[in-house]
Every structure is written in structure tokens, then in C-alpha cells.
């Protein structure tokens, strides 16, 4: 990979094919309990191209009226989010042993045309813990810069089974997904990509 921002740790092919398939089944179960919904940008109400759901005590949501936030319930069903699958909690413990347990697992589902613009993750009430991300399915072109908008960025592909840990300085780096390479993986039933992002939201 190109020279990565300080604090960003990249674990290519960290999750083997069997564990990836097991994770996909876990996520199908999460989606049955907490259906994917289409988040909206604050104020404009413009829909994101990525569909989302969550598991864990808190979930990240956004809509036109209330904007970006964490809440304990699904925005459409009103039900509590389902629990984070144990294998994801184990992954967090392995890669972030000093961090308090994650409270939110955001499930991002990308079709081949979906993308995510450059942004910072700063809706959490604490930035002390790292963020851990798991890629499943089709390859994606990931871009990351520094903590100031407009600075230099580096791009690289994220593939199924890759794990990223954003710690220290990289925790507030601008990042996004520029494109999905539809049909590059056979893990999912349809072309597309799933990203799982585990976060601590409240101070420990
Ligand atoms: C760098 N997700 O959910 S994962 C997000 O692939 C998000 O769905 C992208 O950005 C996705 O907020 C990128 C890699 C990632 C996740 C969180 C980060 C990189 C990060 C937080 C801080 C810095
Ligand atoms: Fe992000």
C-alpha cells in the first residue's frame, strides 16, 4: 500500500473466506431484525447512495430533520438494534485490546453505483477509542487524507476480508469511498459491497 497516514493500520486479507461467509450470514440476520433503510442528508434531505442499518446498543442514523446522530432504536421500526455478533466483538478485542467495548456497528451496503464522499467521523462523544472497519464483497476504491479538508489524500483498494483500524491521528482523518468495482467478488448474492464499522460512541 502507499504510505498510510500515521495511526492507520491496514490488515489485508485478515478474515478468511469461511469467516467472511459466516459474517455475511450474521449480517443477513441483523438485516432481518433491523431492515436496511436509505439515510438522508441533514437539511437537503438528499438520500445517500449507501443503504444502512446497525447493530449494538447504539446506531448511527441521519435524516433531513434531525441530521447525523446515534440512537438506540431503528428509525423506521422503532425497535432496539440487534446485538453485535460475537465474532465482531472478538475481532475488536484482538485488534484493540486496550479499548473499551464498541457500542455501535454500522452496516453500510453499497450497490455497484454507490459511493461515500470524503468526510470525518465526528458524531461520537469520544474520539479516544479507535474505529475498526471490515470490508466484504466487491472491491472498493478507498481514499484517506489528513484531518483538514483539502489536504493531500492517498487511495487504495479495499478487498473482501480486509480490516482497517483507525487509531490516534488517523481517527479524525477525512476518508471516503470513490467507487465500487462491481462483480470483483463472489461472496454476496448480488454485486456490491458491505462495510462494517465498529465504534465506541460514549466515554468509558
Ligand atoms: C478513517 N465507511 O461508515 S470504511 C463510515 O467503506 C465510513 O463504508 C466507509 O467511512 C465504508 O463512516 C469507509 C473505513 C473507515 C471507516 C471509518 C474511519 C475509515 C476511517 C474513521 C476515521 C478515519
Ligand atoms: Fe467514515
How many domains does one find in the chain? 1
Nearest by Cα to 132 from 78, 197, 185? 197
d(CA 175, ligand 1 centre) in Å: 6
CATH code, 68 = 2.60.120.590
Max CA separation in the chain (angstroms): 43
What distance in Å separates the CA atoms of residue 107 and residue 64, rounded to the nearest whole number?
20
Query: Which residue ranges have their beta carbon within 6 Å of ligand 1?
Result: 106, 108, 116, 121, 131, 133, 140, 144, 164, 166, 170-171, 173, 175, 177, 195, 197
Nearest by Cα to 7 from 145, 162, 183? 145
Per-residue pLDDT of the chain (204 residues; tens, 9 = 90+): 568 889 999 999 999 999 999 999 999 999 999 999 999 999 999 999 999 999 999 999 999 999 999 999 999 999 999 999 999 999 999 999 999 999 999 999 999 999 999 999 999 999 999 999 999 999 999 999 999 999 999 999 999 999 999 999 999 999 999 999 999 999 999 999 999 999 999 999
What pLDDT, on the 0 to 100 scale, is given for residue 1? 55
What pLDDT, on the 0 to 100 scale, is given for residue 2? 62
* Range(s) of the domain holding residue 43: 8-199
d(CA 133, ligand 2 centre) in Å: 9
What distance in Å separates the CA atoms of residue 155 and residue 143, rounded to the nearest whole number?
4
User: Which residues, chain by chain, have CB under 5 Å from ion ligand 2?
Assistant: 121
For 134-186, give the DSSP string.
EEEESEEEEEE--SSTTS--EEEEE-TT-EEEE-GGGGG--EEEEEEETTS--
Tell whether 2 is covered by a domain: no
Nearest by Cα to 163 from 50, 8, 57, 54? 8
What distance in Å separates the CA atoms of residue 134 and residue 194, rounded to the nearest whole number?
8
Please tell me the number of the ligand nearest to residue 144's CA: 1
Tell whether 3 is covered by a domain: no
Asked whether the beta carbons of 132 and 198 are under 8 A apart, the reply is yes
Tell whether 161 is covered by a domain: yes
What pLDDT, on the 0 to 100 scale, is given for residue 32? 98
Tell whether 1 is covered by a domain: no
What pLDDT, on the 0 to 100 scale, is given for residue 83? 98
Residue with cell 446485538: 83
What pLDDT, on the 0 to 100 scale, is given for residue 3? 83
Please tell me the number of the ligand nearest to residue 166's CA: 1
Q: Residues near 11 by Cβ (< 8 Å), separated by ≥ 6?
A: 95, 162, 163, 164, 165
What pLDDT, on the 0 to 100 scale, is given for residue 125? 96
What distance in Å separates the CA atoms of residue 38 and residue 20, rounded to the nearest whole number?
25
Ligand 1, atom nearest to 60 Cα: 3
Amino acid at each position: 500500500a502507499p504510505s498510510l497516514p500515521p495511526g492507520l493500520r491496514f490488515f489485508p486479507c485478515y478474515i478468511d473466506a469461511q469467516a467472511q461467509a459466516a459474517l455475511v450470514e450474521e449480517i443477513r440476520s441483523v438485516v432481518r431484525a433491523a431492515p436496511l433503510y436509505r439515510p438522508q442528508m441533514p437539511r437537503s434531505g438528499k438520500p445517500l447512495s449507501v443503504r444502512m442499518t446497525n447493530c449494538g446498543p447504539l446506531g448511527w442514523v441521519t435524516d433531513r430533520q434531525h441530521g447525523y446522530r446515534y440512537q438506540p432504536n431503528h428509525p423506521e421500526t422503532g425497535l432496539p438494534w440487534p446485538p453485535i455478533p460475537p465474532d465482531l466483538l472478538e475481532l475488536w478485542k484482538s485488534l484493540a485490546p486496550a479499548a473499551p467495548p464498541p457500542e455501535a456497528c454500522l452496516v453500510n451496503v453499497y450497490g455497484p453505483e454507490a459511493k461515500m464522499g470524503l468526510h470525518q467521523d465526528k458524531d461520537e462523544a469520544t474520539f479516544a477509542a479507535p474505529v475498526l472497519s471490515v470490508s466484504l464483497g466487491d472491491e472498493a476504491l478507498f481514499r484517506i487524507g489528513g484531518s483538514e479538508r483539502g489536504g493531500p489524500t492517498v487511495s487504495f483498494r479495499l478487498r473482501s476480508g480486509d480490516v482497517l483500524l483507525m487509531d490516534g491521528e488517523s481517527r479524525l482523518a477525512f476518508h471516503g469511498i470513490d467507487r465500487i468495482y462491481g462483480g470483483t467478488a463472489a461472496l454476496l448474492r448480488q454485486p456490491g459491497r458491505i462495510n462494517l464499522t465498529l465504534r465506541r460512541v460514549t466515554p468509558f
